[in-house]
Copies of this chain bind each other. A is one copy, B any other.
Amino acid sequence: MDFKNELVKKSTLINRELEKYIKNDECPEKVLNQSMEYSLMAGGKRIRPVLILASYELFKDDFEKVLPFAIAMEMIHTFSLIHDDLPGIDNDDYRRGKLTNHKKFNEATAILAGDNLLNYAYNLIINDIINNGEDKDKKLQALKELSFGVDRMIAGEYVDTEFEGKEISSQYLEYMHENKTGALIKASVRIGAIMAGASQTDIEMLTFYADRIGLAFQVKDDILSEIGDSKELGKPVGNDRERGKCTYTTKYGLEKAQEMLKSITEEAISAVSEFNNSDFLKELALYIANRNK
């Protein structure tokens, strides 16, 4: 398997599918829809929806069945980024090298675009459940995972805002990331596995994998925020330290953070080693650890 090739294939599929859900009819709220499209199509890595597909494909081939969940997940991730960037939270002007939603449009639009993306995600899944009668119970279970993931993501985000600029215990730092970044990643692999009818043991194994790559993702983010290339990242570097933000690098130092990243990634890889066809998930763990943006 050529990992890069497969990743591009999957994320291209997600992008093409996302476009089908873009509303571009003439209506009084046209600009709101444009702002949702702007952030949805701002070049995200599509890690979460890719994880839904990859987790499903460990067990089954007909990945079309999980596409609505993949799309919903990316909408929810985008909603969380738009709100995270708001002046009332992180007050960021750029993301992925582009103006943030509230800078490109305005604050009211960004608040409502985020709200609407979260709602749209639910709306499309509900319509899928109603219109495609089969697998209703599996879909409801997967939807429950999605909803729980969002709840935890918001909790993590809240803890992040509450402790900005304050000393934070390693217990709280972990709780924050486990939820803020980890919850949707965990929900993604669980949704894929649940939809594929995986056994409870397999779901738990994949959950552990997700837990590890979620943490790896955050540690790597913190490392890049400190020593990454601001051009590649599309956002300024060194902001976290200036803001007194508590991250893995500001708390443990760069060297220790890099060691952590390495061992966490190894744990993730070993968790999925028992599955056939787990090459993609293994490579994905390495990709997260080695990325430059």
Chain B min CB distance to A133 (Å)? 9
| A118 at the binding interface (Cβ < 8 Å) | yes
Give the shortest distance, in Å, between A276 (CB) and chain B (any CB).
31
In the bound complex, CA of A127 to CA of B155 (Å): 19
Interface check A12, CB cutoff 8 A: no
A120 within 8 A of B: yes
By the criterion CB–CB under 8 Å, are B28 and A112 in contact?
A: no
A109 at the interface (CB under 8 A from B): yes
Q: How many copies, total?
A: 2
A: contact size bracket = 35 or more
- Closest CB of chain B to A85's CB: distance in Å? 11
| A176 CA to B27 CA, complexed, in Å | 11
Contact of A151 with B by CB under 8 A: yes
Given the complex, which residues of B lie within 8 Å of A88, measured CB to CB? Answer: 86-88, 102, 106-108, 110-111
Instruction: Mark A residues whose CB is within 8 Å of B.
Output: 27-29, 31-32, 79, 83, 86-89, 102, 106-112, 114-116, 118-120, 122-123, 126-127, 129-130, 136, 140-141, 143-144, 147-148, 150-151, 154-155, 157-159, 161-162, 172, 175-176
Q: Give 18 pairs: A residue, B residue, CB < 8 Å, sorted on A.
A: A28-B162, A28-B172, A32-B155, A83-B111, A88-B88, A88-B102, A88-B110, A109-B158, A111-B111, A115-B115, A115-B154, A116-B151, A118-B118, A119-B150, A119-B154, A122-B122, A126-B143, A129-B140
